């Protein structure tokens, strides 16, 4: 998928103004024209999420979550749960290395994480049955029914970020509560039944970032970063003037049509975000010292990780990074070298691991040095694991989907780390002990963020539904 195609067809933050809708006779047409002018200045791929309530911002904990979404499903055996004593068709092509924890081994291509395992937790027993990808919903909502491929209502279950946007809000007014860098809409979970106002803020247009091909080649080009740009000749003063006039027309219209609501504070916040300095500063990667930018590196994902740190530092509560080059099932979907663009374990997964190793450990170290690590929970995972046997689907060294078990990692958040939770059978294909469910992950994230686990919302049929289904916080992390 080309870079530009990722932006078309998404809702933007001003869609609820209905700029193209006719509203009565003359005065209303003029009002519609003004709405169109205001909506046009933000006609970008930005979901309508800016209902960040001031009371929630004031009471928020200052905590946040960064989700590193490994779209496609990384192999558990070739990352955090190696099986070095197994035959090659099971263990795969990589060697293993010791970690900071005695007796715990990692894949040889994750040396930085191995050296930092005292600051991380590896969960080797995640039960991701019923999880699928494209759309990726189960592991980003904590709900087993959130599988649009098999359940027509799968898109109605809200993401972790959307629930947090509604019940926690941003940590600072003037910023989105939930934001994402997104290669494809099918890789990220949205608000569902909570309403579009809690969809993620699509941040791809907010900062200058390198553009990569769908197989991970840097084109040498940068995105336009046009989110905060206003059309030629439209100054902040003109925007404020138009907003004032729109409010005047709203007051006039309300005398004729009482049901017509005036532009509320949430719409005002949408404009304030465009005009204000807080959001603009959060996405200005050029404000970082060159030494910090070099530390993260010039790769797209590393630049997004640096921006994620800037975003949570500024006040965003939940950030998702879609770590994929292409918009199909995901770059971590390593079916085989002869099945492009996925690649197999040697040629597809191997180049990703040192990059991911650097990204994750740099983010953890940077947050720690800035005194933020205890307030920021990092979660790195995909939607499922890969088959124990290698060379599936007639490939040379690929692994197929395997929803029976996957590995994932967590860091930060002031939680208890330096441990491995759960284990798998000898071939890495089934959970041996301590299964962790999507519901358990949801409960863990919500407990960390201070969202009550008994919080309810109404589903598409108006029935009350719990944000946590069949899950409890992972007690080992809170011990």
Using the Cα atoms of residue 199, residue 121, residue 83 and residue 435 in order, give the sign of their dihedral.
Answer: negative
Whether 53 is covered by a domain: the verdict is no
pLDDT reading at 2 higher than 70: no
Comparing 132-136, 179-183, 369-373, the range with the smallest average pLDDT is 132-136
Q: What percent of the chain has pLDDT over 90?
A: 71
Closest to 413 measured CA to CA, from 467, 363, 355: 363
**Final residue before a domain boundary, out of 282, 302, 317:** 282
On whether both 472 and 360 belong to a single domain, the answer is: yes
- What would the mean pLDDT of 438-443 be, rounded to a whole number? 98
pLDDT of residue 156: 95
pLDDT of residue 260: 38
pLDDT reading at 14 higher than 90: no
On whether both 159 and 245 belong to a single domain, the answer is: no
pLDDT reading at 295 higher than 70: yes
pLDDT of residue 272: 58
CB contact set of 107 (below 8 Å; sequence gap of 6+): 78, 79, 80, 82, 94, 95, 96, 97, 353
Whether 18 is covered by a domain: the verdict is yes
* Tally of domains in the chain: 2
Could you tell me where the beta strands, DSSP code E, fall in 213-354? 218-222, 318-322
Residue 267: pLDDT band by 50, 70, 90 thresholds?
low
- What would the mean pLDDT of 456-471 be, rounded to a whole number? 92
Whether 401 is covered by a domain: the verdict is yes
- Mean pLDDT in the chain? 85
**Could you tell me where the DSSP H helices lie in 336-454?**
352-369, 438-449
pLDDT of residue 211: 97
Whether 102 is covered by a domain: the verdict is yes
- What would the mean pLDDT of 410-437 be, rounded to a whole number? 98
Query: What size, in residues, is the chain?
Result: 479
Q: pTM for this one? A: 0.83
**Final residue before a domain boundary, out of 265, 282, 299:** 282
Whether 55 is covered by a domain: the verdict is no
pLDDT tens digits for range 165-215: 999 999 999 899 999 999 999 999 999 999 999 999 999 989 999 999 999
pLDDT of residue 27: 39
Which CB contacts under 8 angstroms, 24+ apart, belong to 28-33? Answer: 28/253, 30/249, 31/246, 31/249, 31/250, 31/253
Angstrom distance (rounded) from CA 106 to CA 258:
65
Using the Cα atoms of residue 48, residue 144, residue 382 and residue 477 in order, give the sign of their dihedral.
Answer: positive
pLDDT tens digits for range 399-410: 999 999 999 999
pLDDT of residue 179: 97
Tokens of 375: 């307030």
Question: What is the enclosing helix (H) or strand (E) of 56?
Answer: helix 54-59
Question: What is the enclosing helix (H) or strand (E) of 249?
Answer: helix 236-256
Whether 56 is covered by a domain: the verdict is no
- What would the mean pLDDT of 88-109 be, rounded to a whole number? 98
On whether both 137 and 266 belong to a single domain, the answer is: no
On whether both 207 and 240 belong to a single domain, the answer is: no
pLDDT tens digits for range 296-342: 999 999 999 999 999 999 999 999 999 999 999 999 999 999 888 88
On whether both 76 and 215 belong to a single domain, the answer is: yes
CB contact set of 92 (below 8 Å; sequence gap of 6+): 75, 77, 78, 82, 345, 390, 397, 399
On whether both 317 and 429 belong to a single domain, the answer is: yes
Whether 262 is covered by a domain: the verdict is yes
List C-alpha distances in Å: 464 to 167, 168, 444: 16, 19, 21
Domain of 37 in residue numbering reads as 1-45+235-282
pLDDT reading at 228 higher than 90: no
CB contact set of 324 (below 8 Å; sequence gap of 6+): 71, 72, 183, 184, 187, 330, 331, 332
Residue 276: pLDDT band by 50, 70, 90 thresholds?
low
pLDDT reading at 457 higher than 60: yes
On whether both 128 and 244 belong to a single domain, the answer is: no
pLDDT of residue 246: 52
On whether both 317 and 412 belong to a single domain, the answer is: yes
Angstrom distance (rounded) from CA 442 to CA 160:
7
On whether both 19 and 77 belong to a single domain, the answer is: no
Is 448:410 a contact under the CB 8 Å cutoff? no
Query: Parallel, antiparallel, or unpaired: how do β-strands 456-458 and 64-69 relate?
Result: unpaired
pLDDT of residue 263: 41
pLDDT reading at 19 higher than 50: no
**Final residue before a domain boundary, out of 282, 315, 346:** 282
On whether both 296 and 401 belong to a single domain, the answer is: yes
Q: What is the CATH number of the domain that holds 360?
A: 3.40.720.10
Closest to 134 measured CA to CA, from 82, 172, 189: 189
On whether both 305 and 420 belong to a single domain, the answer is: yes
Comparing 10-24, 28-42, 209-223, the range with the smallest average pLDDT is 10-24
Whether 50 is covered by a domain: the verdict is no
Kindly report whether the peptide bond that precedes residue 135 is cis, defined as omega within 30 degrees of 0: yes
Closest to 109 measured CA to CA, from 133, 141, 74, 143: 74
pLDDT reading at 380 higher than 70: yes
On whether both 146 and 24 belong to a single domain, the answer is: no
pLDDT tens digits for range 152-163: 999 999 999 999
């Amino acid at each position: 998928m080309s870079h530009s195609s990722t932006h078309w067809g998404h809702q933007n933050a001003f869609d609820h103004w209905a700029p193209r809708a006719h509203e009565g006779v003359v005065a209303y047409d003029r009002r519609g024209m003004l709405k169109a002018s205001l909506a046009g200045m933000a006609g970008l791929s930005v979901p309508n999420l800016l209902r960040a309530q001031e009371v929630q911002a004031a009471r928020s904990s200052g905590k946040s979550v960064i989700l590193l979404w490994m779209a496609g499903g990384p192999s558990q055996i070739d990352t955090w749960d190696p099986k070095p004593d197994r035959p090659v068709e099971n263990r795969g092509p990589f060697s293993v290395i010791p970690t900071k924890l005695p007796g715990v081994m990692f894949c040889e291509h994750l040396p930085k994480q191995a050296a930092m395992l005292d600051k991380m937790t590896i969960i080797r027993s995640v039960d991701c049955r019923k999880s699928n990808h494209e759309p990726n919903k189960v592991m980003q909502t904590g709900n087993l029914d959130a599988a649009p491929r098999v359940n027509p209502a799968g898109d109605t279950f809200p993401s972790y970020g959307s629930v947090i946007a509604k019940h926690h809000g941003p940590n600072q007014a003037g910023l989105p509560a939930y934001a994402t860098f997104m290669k494809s809409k099918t890789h990220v979970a949205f608000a569902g039944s909570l309403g579009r106002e809690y969809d993620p803020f699509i941040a791809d247009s907010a900062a200058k970032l390198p553009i990569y091909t769908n197989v991970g080649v840097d084109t040498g080009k940068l995105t336009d970063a046009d989110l905060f740009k206003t059309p030629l000749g439209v100054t902040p003063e003109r925007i404020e003037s138009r907003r004032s006039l729109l409010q005047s027309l709203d007051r006039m219209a309300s005398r004729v049509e009482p049901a017509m609501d005036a532009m509320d504070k949430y719409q005002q916040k949408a404009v304030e975000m465009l005009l204000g300095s807080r959001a603009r500063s959060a996405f200005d990667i050029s404000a970082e010292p060159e030494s910090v930018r070099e530390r993260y590196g010039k790769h797209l994902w590393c630049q997004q990780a640096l921006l994620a740190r800037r975003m949570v530092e500024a006040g965003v509560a939940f950030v998702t990074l879609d770590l994929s080059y292409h918009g199909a099932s995901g770059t971590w979907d390593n079916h085989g070298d002869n099945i492009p663009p996925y690649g197999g374990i040697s040629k597809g997964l191997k180049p990703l691991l040192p990059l991911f190793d650097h990204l994750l450990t740099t983010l953890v170290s940077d947050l720690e040095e800035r005194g933020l690590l205890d307030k920021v929970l990092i979660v790195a995972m995909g939607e499922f694991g890969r088959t124990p046997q290698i060379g599936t689907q007639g490939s040379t060294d690929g692994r197929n989907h395997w929803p029976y078990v996957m590995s994932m990692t967590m860091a930060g958040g002031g939680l208890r780390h330096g441990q491995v939770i759960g284990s798998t059978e000898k071939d890495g294909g089934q959970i041996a002990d301590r299964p962790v469910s999507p519901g358990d992950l949801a409960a863990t994230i919500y407990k960390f963020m201070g969202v009550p686990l008994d919080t309810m919302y109404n589903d598409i049929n108006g029935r009350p539904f719990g944000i946590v289904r069949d899950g409890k916080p992972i007690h080992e992390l809170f011990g």
